[in-house]
Amino acid sequence: MTSPLAGLKVLDMSRVLAGPFAGRMLCDLGADVVKLEPPEGDITRLWGASVNGVSGYFNQQNAGKRGLCVDLSLPEGVELVRALAAVADVLVENFRPDVMGRLGLSYEVLSAINPRLVMLSISGFGADGPESRRAAYAPIIHAESGIMDRQARSADSHPVDMALSIADTNASLHGLVGLLSALYLRERTGRGQHVDIAMIDATLVTDDHVHYALDEAFDIKPMPNEVWETAGGLMIIAGDFRFIWRRLVEHCGVLDPTPDGASLGEKIAARRAAARNFFLHTCVDRAAVIGALDRMNLAWGDVRTSSEALNLPTVAHRGTFAEVDDRAGGVRKVTQSPYRFSDARSEVRGGAPHQGEHNDAVLDDWLQPDSEDRARWRSALLKEKMTPRT
């Protein structure tokens, strides 16, 4: 089986998550993805457990890529990136919108060198507009998009950030759709595209509740799914309480305890108490809880820790995690590609690179430089010392 994107050259100039995750998925799909880093390295090299000098966060987002370390403060470094862009199919970056232009690496400059180049730019608020120069990380977009406030209202708590970077990964996946569409279009037109993805756009477009705000229809919004304490542990049950109550009455024989003349508040409290009693006491064990939920045809899930989720039977069956060589005499686990094809291959292709690990190999494979070019670019190429960080 072949990989869908085998032969595609991707120059990944991005940092942290939104860009690197897109590059990681392209790599899993078979592209030759070269991770370009500045001398100080990607900040995520400091995040997570370090194995042979590679952190867990950096490894997860950059597994399988090749590493190139270039000093863009030097003219030779900018010249080298232009040379690489001249032969690349895709360039991914997530600087603030003015940075690539100040470096002399704007899409206008690069597309003049390589008209077939597809460039994906991910930023918080888009390439132009009144807020385009704002610094933006996922928590900023979580707050600005309204989802942080909504979560707080749903939980009746003070607003706090989500414990995963939804805005980054949404933007990354929408960026993948955009750049793959641009590559498909290039097959017809012969020309590349500049794909401009704003994290705020991607978050709002992916928000399945935003229509309530657009229509000012909050009064008809369904009640949130809730976590219940049951004889089988903490479980989330899909459906708002009104629906769950009807199923309890119809399929499990739960009696309505509401006294005559009760107010709406008293009715709700009484019915909730009856539901809690059913799940925690009438159902004497986990099997009884699951049996009742199945009779009611209600979807449910255990509230697990992240560590427990690693051992789910479906995760084991589908190979959601893979082992890669840690180059320290062992292996380490990393997320596997989520794509499953009937007659093609997508898979993680190794661990993340050390900084500048593939400087010479990338130059040889992509550029085949003569001795004069190699000597000129050498001053802008750096390598990380192989000393594990603590």
Q: What is the pLDDT of residues 163-205, one digit of tens each?
A: 899 999 999 999 999 999 999 999 999 999 999 999 999 999 9
pLDDT of residue 250: 95
Count CB-CB contacts under 10 A for residue 87: 16
Pairing of strands 54-55, 50-51: antiparallel
Pairing outcome for strands 321-325 and 331-335: antiparallel
pLDDT of residue 35: 97
Residues 6+ apart with CB under 8 A from 57: 44, 47, 48
CA distances from 89 to 128, 168, 186, 194 (A): 24, 23, 10, 12
384 — pLDDT class (breaks 50, 70, 90): low
Active-site hit among 42, 89, 168, 196? 168
Q: Is the pLDDT of residue 388 over 70?
A: no
Instruction: Enumerate the domain spans of the chain.
Output: 9-209+336-378, 225-302
Task: Check residue 329 and give its pLDDT.
Answer: 87
Q: What is the pTM of this model?
A: 0.90
Of 318, 313, 354, 352, nearest in space to 336 by CA: 318
Q: What is the pLDDT of residues 109-146, one digit of tens each?
A: 999 999 999 999 999 999 898 988 888 899 999 999 99
pLDDT tens across 223-274, in order?
788 999 999 999 999 999 999 999 999 999 999 999 889 999 999 999 999 9
Q: What does the pLDDT average to over 18-24?
A: 97
Question: Active-site residue 168, yes or no?
Answer: yes
> Residues with Cβ < 8 Å from 189, sequence gap 6 or more?
none
Q: What percent of the chain has pLDDT over 90?
A: 83
Crossing angle (nearest 10°) for helices 286-295 and 241-252: 100
Residue 273, Cβ density class (10 Å: 0-12 exposed, 13-18 middle, ≥19 buried): exposed
9-209+336-378: which CATH architecture?
Answer: 3-Layer(aba) Sandwich (3.40)
Q: What single-letter DSSP state applies at residue 196? A: E
Q: Helix 241-252 vs helix 264-277: angle between axes, to the nearest 10 degrees?
A: 60
